[in-house]
Chain A
C-alpha cells in the first residue's frame, strides 16, 4: 500500500497489531534461545548457556521488533 492512500484507520490498526505482537515476539525470542541454551547446558553439563541464551534472545527480539515496527 503506497503512502498516499493510507487512511488514519490503517495507522491505528498497524499500531494495535504491533502493540499486541510485541510481547509474544519477546517471549518467543527468550523461549527459543533460552531453551537452546538450557538444552546445551543439559548436554554439556554446564550452567552458563541458559542465562546467555536468554539475554541473546531478548537482544535479538528487541532488534527484530525495532527493525519491524520502529520506523
Chain B
C-alpha cells in the first residue's frame, strides 16, 4: 500500500494527497486502469444491476429490492424533480434517478471496507457528469427559448437601467456559462477529496500511535485518532448522501431553468 510508505520514517507524517490519490495501475502496464476506474466501473454495474433487479418486472405490491429502490425513486421525485421541474418532472426522472444513484454509489465507495476510495475525489469523474448536464442545459435552453431568446433571458434580466446592462451582461454570461458548471463539479469533488483526506489522516494517527509506536504518552493521541475516525466516518456518510442529493438537485435546477425562462 502506498499510503503506508511514511512508516519507513521514524516520525509521524500526515498522509499527503499524492500518496492518497495518485494510485498506481492495478495491472502493471495498463496505465489507465487504476482503482478509481475499477470502482467507477463496479458502481456502474451495481447501479444498472440494482435498477434492473428492481424494475425489470415491477410488482404492484413491491417486495425486496424493488421496495428499497422505489423509496429512492420517490425521494428523488418528491425532493428533487417536482420542486424544480413541476409538471415536466416525470419526463426527466430517468436522468435524475440515474445521476443520483450513480453519484451516491460513487461516494459510498469511500466508506465501504476494502474499496474505501470515493470515486468523485478524482475531479475527472464529476467533471464529466457536470459537462453532460451543462451540454443538456444549453441544448434545452436553445431548443425551448430560441438561440437569441436564451442568451437574452440569461444576460439581460428585466428591470435594470439601460447603461448598467453593459457592465452586468458579462457577469451574467460568465456566471451562467462557465462558473456554474465549474462549481457544480468542484462542489462534489472538493467535499469527497477533503472527506477522504480527513478520514485517512485520523486513521493514520490511530494506527501510528497505537500499533506502530506504542508509547505511554502517545496512546492517548492514538485513542483520540480512532474515536475521531469513527465519528468522521459517520459524518462522511451523511455528507456523501447530501452531496449526491445536491448534485441531482442542481442538475434538476439547471434543466428547469432552461425549460422555463425566469419570470
What is the interface of chain A, defined by CB distance below 8 A to chain B? 1, 9, 12-13, 16-17, 20-21, 23-25, 27-29, 31-32, 57, 60-61, 63-64, 67-68
Chain B stretch 174-190: residues in CB contact (< 8 A) with chain A = 174-176, 178-180, 183
Cβ of B60 under 8 Å from chain A: no
How far does the alpha carbon of A12 sit from the alpha carbon of B249 in the complex, in Å? 13
SS class, residues of chain B in contact with chain A: helix
Question: Is B253 interfacial (CB-CB < 8 Å)?
Answer: yes
Cα A60 to Cα B163 with chains together (Å): 13
Please name the 5 residue pairs, one residue from A and one from B, whose CB atoms are nearest each other, closest first.
A28-B175, A28-B174, A24-B179, A24-B175, A29-B171
| Contact between B171 and A64, CB atoms less than 8 A apart | yes
Size band of the B side of the interface? 20 to 34
Please indicate the chain B residues that have their CB under 8 angstroms from the CB of A12 in the complex: 83
Interface residue B45 (Cβ < 8 Å from any Cβ of A) = no
SS of A interface (majority): helix
The residue on B at minimum CB distance from A30 is B171
Interface residues of B (CB under 8 A from A): 82-84, 86, 157, 159-160, 164, 167-168, 170-172, 174-176, 178-180, 183, 249-250, 253, 256-257, 262-263
Asked whether A16 lies within 8 Å of B160 as measured between CB atoms, the reply is: no
- A41–B257 Cα gap in the complex (Å)? 37
A13/B171 contact (C-beta < 8 A), A20-B253, A24-B180, A67-B159 known: no
Could you say which residues of chain B place their CB within 8 Å of the CB of A28? 171-172, 174-175, 178-179
